[in-house]
Structure 1
Amino acid sequence: MMLSTTKLNGQPSIRRCVRAMAGLVLLLPLVADSSVLQVAAAEEPIRTRGADIVVQEINRLIRETWKDNEVEPSPVADDAEWIRRVYLDIVGHIPAVEDVEKFLADKDKAKRAQLIDRLLDDPGYTRNWTTIWTNLCIGQQTPRRVSRTGMQKFFREAFGKNRPWNEIVSDLVTAEGHYEENGAANFLLAQMQDQDDGIQMTAKTTRLFMGMQVQCTQCHDHPFNDWKQDQFWQFNSFFRQTAKVDHRRFDQKTGQMVDDFSEIVERDFSGPVYFEKRSGLMKVAYPSYFGVDINPDSTTDRRRELAKLMTVGDRPMIALAYINRLWAHFFGYGFTNPIDDIGSHIPVTHPELFDRLADEFVKSGYNCKQAIRWIANSEAYNLTSRTTKKNAQDNPAIGEAALFTHVYVKPMTAEQLYDSLIVATNAHKSGRSGWEQAEVQRHAWLQSFVQTFGTDEGDEATSFDGTIPQALMMMNGPLVQDAVSVKPGSYLHQLLTGKGTDNHKIQRLYLSALSRMPNKAEIAAAQRFLNSNQDPLTVYQDLFWALLNSNEFIINH
């Protein structure tokens, strides 16, 4: 656990004493059964969408893997564990106290399926997936002459309208024009930081939307799969008609020319691409998609032809890539490892299920929300994250194949952590009335946060992994300090100035931070500190600080 010597209100901190109250607690043993998940023997069963044939197939095929590998699933997660997880995965932040209380009190057997539907219709769904795909397409740090606002507007409309995934990908691959008037253009602009003849566009498009890592084959044949050097340049030739134009304007205030905007335009290009083999031999490549050749003359819109070819067939690569990434988002691991390297050289943990989900995704019209419903309503997703003796070997973190006998824990992303702190504490709540205004405030804080949490490349796997700078930011950063303040408008101020016993207030702090009630030992420990000679205000601040800095808060489980 993290330590701190910070003082509050001039008094010595007792945070080391309350650290133990913030640890993970054992969840009640539970049992699973088909489309009806038994929460406990004395409780009513929970109904998922077991009548959905796709959910039934997910359950059947996952169970076959359990049987074949002689493992048993963990118990079903209790309501408190599950609601926190599904909120983080679908809307990108933990649930508010009121939502937790309402869900825990709800006796409807189908409440989990109903909540999934409500979250998919919540504005938070659009915001979360806009954030995820903006980061994937342009990175957490906005590249020069790229508009994050434009990219966000494109995805906000796409996910808000639940546009088909194949149309979204097509718009990104074929985008032209002003980087804010057509926000999709920012995907290609982000790959054009250097004049590399479309090499980065080729590598990023195939990796992100087709699940293929082909970047090394620009120089030689792939050492592990069937991808050849000439195939890389055949794909690359689809992007050779693409150019970036940077516009500048005169600034009246400074009397200088400054950057104005960038746009994607089409340029005249026909014929082959020339590339060099390791032997020094020069060769040519024409636009070709897995053996399907297109007319290479200047009258052909190559990127538009590529977008069409990417959706050809019963199980196109964009469907496989999306399903693999989506499954990994909810479970922590995909059907392949890594998730963006699909091919005969990479083993697939559940090949029949992988293919079936991709097929159904295509049949659904590339319906992104429907794919989430299937996964979130599955038996495997409703399990606890805690392992048992009968599935302890199911540990993909050490290189084992993922069997999904339990939900694998995963650290929050920087954005999830920020938004969850806001939900839990009301920190910086004032002034968050509109999307743009909230995004400016959010992104301003995330800039320093991502620099600490992220990587030089702005990878999508930006999360809290316990490094010293991250720990210091969580313990002593301005957002957390605001979170445990008693300023008017803060959650702590509302709680301490409101009615209720100490036990009630302690329970509300746990519900706010961890989405669960404290156990008897945690209540007793907090009461002991409140009954000591410490200032009660300091005790509440330290308790809240400990909960927000606990592994249980930072981890999505």
Structure 2
Amino acid sequence: MKTRLCLPLACALLVTGLRADNEVYRTWTDSQGRKLDATFRGIENGNVFLQVRNGYVYRLPLDKLSAADQAAAKTLKPEGLGIPSDPNLAQAAAQIDMLVEAGLKKAEQKPNPLASDEQFVRRVFLDLVGRIPTREETLEFINDPSVSKRAHVIDRLLKSSGFNSHLFNYFADMLRMADVAQKARFYTYQDWLKQQLADNTPWNKIVYSMMNADGKLLENGATGYLLRDAGMRLDNLSLTLSTFLGANVSCAQCHDHPFADWTQRQFYEMAAFFGATETYGAKGNSGMKGMQKVLASLGDRKLQQQAKNLLRVNALAVENTTENDLTMPDDYKYPDAKPGDPVKPKLITWSDDKTKKAYQAQPVKHDEKLREQFAKWMTSPENPRFAMTIANRMWKHIFGIGVKEPVTDLDDPNASVNPALLHHLANEMVRLKFDLRQFLRVLCNTQTYQREATSHELVDNEPYHFPGPILRRMTSEQAWDSCATLVIGADVDKFKGHRGSTYAQAMNIDFSGGASPDALKSQIENAIASMRQFGGAKAGAKPNKKNKGSQTEEEQMGLAPPVRNGLVLARASELPQPEKDQHFLRMFGQSDRQIADSESTEGSIPQVLMLMNGEAQRVIGQNDSLVVQTANSQESSEKKVESLYLSFFSRKPRPDELSNSVAALNNGLTLRDLTWVLFNTREFVFVE
């Protein structure tokens, strides 16, 4: 037997939702008489997996156990989640489960039962890759006899491109990512973030890059964060602090905060770190000077206007200046400063000691750029709010509700439903070095996540102690991507727009001052010509009117997404950000990207009408839809119905559902009619 048996017992009270009274523990004995108190997790490839009380899982050769224990292992049903990917992962998940269980016990509540394989596979696909699994993906999982299949599917999904698409949707809503802002296209910003997620760049490095980026938007997509609020330092700082630190400071922008320790002066001292940052491109772009002569040489007035628009886009840049020019507002009324006084930057530190003020100033280093200091301070592992905020956000991302709500207000972590859990999640984020995939991997391997969803309606202000995830409606992107999956299957993940590189190549002009007027004129004319060609190359472009359902040559080659009845069947992440007002995505709650975290999952009459009569349901029911083709290929009515249920719900129909559906088909109902019925059920649009 392995030698690592002397383990700390401090965590031995509650493990992975299992009671500490030996109810599921037994004493295992090896062939040499050594004993181990553990719970059975399963047998695989001649090894038995046993989990001890602190959550660590041991892999032991089955033939090294005593004869009696070998016989027991072959007959026991695995408790809990089956075999994890690695022992350390199981231990990390168990620690979270212990804290959740302690919170439930304190509230005199019990955890929900474990979710079935059918419930789990649909949920984990929706939560990690943002779409329902296909019929084949569902059957592959359900029919897999492996005791470690849940851990394996989590790992596979985390490595998929669908994971990147789904996480991009979340951050696009959080960061107000829009195709058009400041009268320019922000495609390079979107492509930059998508690449960061594909590269699994740690969250602290992603945010550091956004805070410290400089240069043109066309050349450095990371500048998009600051340029989204070009010329609005104070508004941008307020959003930055609430989004990334959960600091509720918006009131302090105009006066001392009435409900938190923030003062208006502190807010301005933080804003001063951006006082030497220019986001209009007017001060540093010396090449822009003298452009009037170049524009005049173009002659045609329409051409001149196009050139002005082109130059404005090129001037959109983040630049560092040599002087902090921030001053106190004209209406500043507190005695510690006067209106118009220069503001010296000061960083804030948090203190959870209730005998001290929560926010205290830190000294500023004079040998570093101001914005760089701010970026280092905010994203530091030692900043207690940075890790806690993203950990709380990711928890809500897959459980449906945060440990602390709202996620933008973490001024008092002890006001959360489970302070010990919240602090532990923050520590886990730091331990995992802000690796979002690894963090979500731990969460999805918890027994808390793999329990049945809580289906009763939550009462406002009533604490939720996480007996399982909450039943929740799909986000607009999950619903759309699931519709597309029904029509074209897993191929929906293949199309990537890469609009940023196309747009930058068409628009970028070198006006740094080295080019002659004639050379600049030539660049401008070439860029204008390229602009005319760009519209048809972007994702979401209107389809050719001649294409009424059949695939174009580009679609067949995989260069463009399929188009059916005017709907571009690409992932929501590859469509316009946001979509037009009457699109399925907007009708189902996709935000207009003007306010952070403003996506809605509230139901509405227009949503019901779209489900009943919209383009999406018509496309799903067409004969060239994958879900219909697959059902039609089955040999009997029973198998056809079963195929549809697996495609829509990741489960087989219950006996009454099967008999009713078969009877309806025999009485003239078509498969298209049945897809309409299943698409309009409550079960389809909810994450169970």
Shorter-chain TM-score range: 0.7 to 0.9
Letter in 1 for 2:678: L
Asked if structure 1 preserves the Cα contact closer than 8 Å seen for 2:621 and 2:628, the reply is no
| Residue correspondence of structure 1 range 390-401 to structure 2 within 5 A | 396-401=458-463
Q: CA 1:44–1:523 in structure 2 vs 1: closer, same or farther (change >3 Å)?
A: farther
Q: CA 1:434–1:309 in structure 2 vs 1: closer, same or farther (change >3 Å)?
A: closer
User: What's the counterpart of residue 336 of structure 1?
Assistant: 404
Corresponding position: 1:230 with 2:292: no
- Higher mean C-alpha deviation, range 114-123 or range 456-465: 456-465
The secondary structure found in structure 2 opposite 1:265 is: strand
RMSD across aligned C-alpha pairs, in angstroms? Answer: 3.1
Q: CA 1:439–1:79 in structure 2 vs 1: closer, same or farther (change >3 Å)?
A: farther
User: What's the counterpart of residue 327 of structure 2?
Assistant: 273
Asked if structure 2 preserves the Cα contact closer than 8 Å seen for 1:138 and 1:186, the reply is no
Larger radius of gyration: 2
Corresponding position: 1:482 with 2:613: no
Corresponding position: 1:518 with 2:653: yes
The secondary structure found in structure 2 opposite 1:336 is: coil
Corresponding position: 1:353 with 2:484: no
Asked if structure 2 preserves the Cα contact closer than 8 Å seen for 1:427 and 1:483, the reply is no
Q: CA 1:431–1:376 in structure 2 vs 1: closer, same or farther (change >3 Å)?
A: closer
The secondary structure found in structure 1 opposite 2:415 is: coil
Asked if structure 2 preserves the Cα contact closer than 8 Å seen for 1:411 and 1:556, the reply is yes
Question: Could you tell me which of 206, 218, 240 is aligned with 2:275?
Answer: 240
- Higher mean C-alpha deviation, range 408-417 or range 243-252: 243-252
Asked if structure 2 preserves the Cα contact closer than 8 Å seen for 1:431 and 1:438, the reply is no
| Residue correspondence of structure 1 range 158-177 to structure 2 within 5 A | 158-177=196-215
Q: CA 1:220–1:508 in structure 2 vs 1: closer, same or farther (change >3 Å)?
A: same
User: What's the counterpart of residue 255 of structure 1?
Assistant: 303
User: What's the counterpart of residue 409 of structure 1?
Assistant: 471
The secondary structure found in structure 1 opposite 2:580 is: helix
Residues 247-289 of structure 1, C-alpha deviation per residue, up to 9 Å, x if partnerless?
A: 8997989524233322222234326531333569526532111
User: What's the counterpart of residue 70 of structure 1?
Assistant: 108
Residues 393-438 of structure 1, C-alpha deviation per residue, up to 9 Å, x if partnerless?
A: xx65422112001210222221111111011232997996444489
CA distance, structure 2, for counterparts of residue 365 and residue 279 of structure 1: 41
Query: Between the two proteins, what is the percent identity of the paired residues?
Result: 26
Corresponding position: 1:503 with 2:641: no
User: What's the counterpart of residue 217 of structure 2?
Assistant: 179
TM-score (norm 2): 0.68
CA distance, structure 2, for counterparts of residue 226 and residue 48 of structure 1: 48
CA distance, structure 1, for counterparts of residue 598 and residue 648 of structure 2: 24
Give how far 1:308 is off: 0.9
Q: CA 1:142–1:405 in structure 2 vs 1: closer, same or farther (change >3 Å)?
A: farther
Asked if structure 2 preserves the Cα contact closer than 8 Å seen for 1:65 and 1:403, the reply is yes
CA distance, structure 1, for counterparts of residue 426 and residue 483 of structure 2: 35
Letter in 2 for 1:399: N
Letter in 1 for 2:473: P
Question: Could you tell me which of 200, 215, 228 is aligned with 1:190?
Answer: 228
User: What's the counterpart of residue 108 of structure 1?
Assistant: 146
User: What's the counterpart of residue 551 of structure 1?
Assistant: 682
Letter in 2 for 1:286: K
Q: CA 1:37–1:380 in structure 2 vs 1: closer, same or farther (change >3 Å)?
A: farther
CA distance, structure 2, for counterparts of residue 165 and residue 54 of structure 1: 20
- Higher mean C-alpha deviation, range 455-464 or range 175-184: 455-464
The secondary structure found in structure 2 opposite 1:158 is: helix
Give how far 1:32 is off: 6.2
Asked if structure 1 preserves the Cα contact closer than 8 Å seen for 2:632 and 2:640, the reply is no
User: What's the counterpart of residue 597 of structure 2?
Assistant: 460
Q: CA 1:370–1:313 in structure 2 vs 1: closer, same or farther (change >3 Å)?
A: closer
TM-score (norm 1): 0.83
User: What's the counterpart of residue 371 of structure 1?
Assistant: 439
Give how far 1:134 is off: 2.5
Give how far 1:178 is off: 2.3
CA distance, structure 2, for counterparts of residue 397 and residue 329 of structure 1: 20
CA distance, structure 1, for counterparts of residue 237 and residue 438 of structure 2: 29
Corresponding position: 1:264 with 2:318: yes
Question: Could you tell me which of 324, 347, 355 is aligned with 1:289?
Answer: 347
Letter in 1 for 2:137: D
Q: CA 1:126–1:517 in structure 2 vs 1: closer, same or farther (change >3 Å)?
A: same
Letter in 2 for 1:255: L
Q: What stretches of structure 1 of length at least 5 have no aligned partner?
A: 1-30
Give how far 1:365 is off: 1.8
The secondary structure found in structure 1 opposite 2:317 is: strand
Give how far 1:327 is off: 0.5
Q: CA 1:493–1:451 in structure 2 vs 1: closer, same or farther (change >3 Å)?
A: closer
The secondary structure found in structure 2 opposite 1:264 is: strand
User: What's the counterpart of residue 11 of structure 1?
Assistant: none
Asked if structure 2 preserves the Cα contact closer than 8 Å seen for 1:315 and 1:355, the reply is no
Corresponding position: 1:79 with 2:117: yes
Letter in 1 for 2:240: T
Give how far 1:484 is off: 1.3
Corresponding position: 1:131 with 2:262: no
Give how far 1:213 is off: 2.1
| Residue correspondence of structure 1 range 414-433 to structure 2 within 5 A | 414-426=476-488, 433=495
Question: Could you tell me which of 371, 375, 384 is aligned with 1:316?
Answer: 384
User: What's the counterpart of residue 607 of structure 2?
Assistant: 470
Give how far 1:90 is off: 0.9
Give how far 1:385 is off: 0.8
Letter in 2 for 1:83: V
Aligned length: 508
The secondary structure found in structure 2 opposite 1:446 is: coil
| Residue correspondence of structure 1 range 112-123 to structure 2 within 5 A | 112-123=150-161
Letter in 2 for 1:407: P
Give how far 1:150 is off: 1.4
Letter in 1 for 2:138: V
Question: Could you tell me which of 447, 453, 460 is aligned with 2:580?
Answer: 447
User: What's the counterpart of residue 448 of structure 2?
Assistant: 380
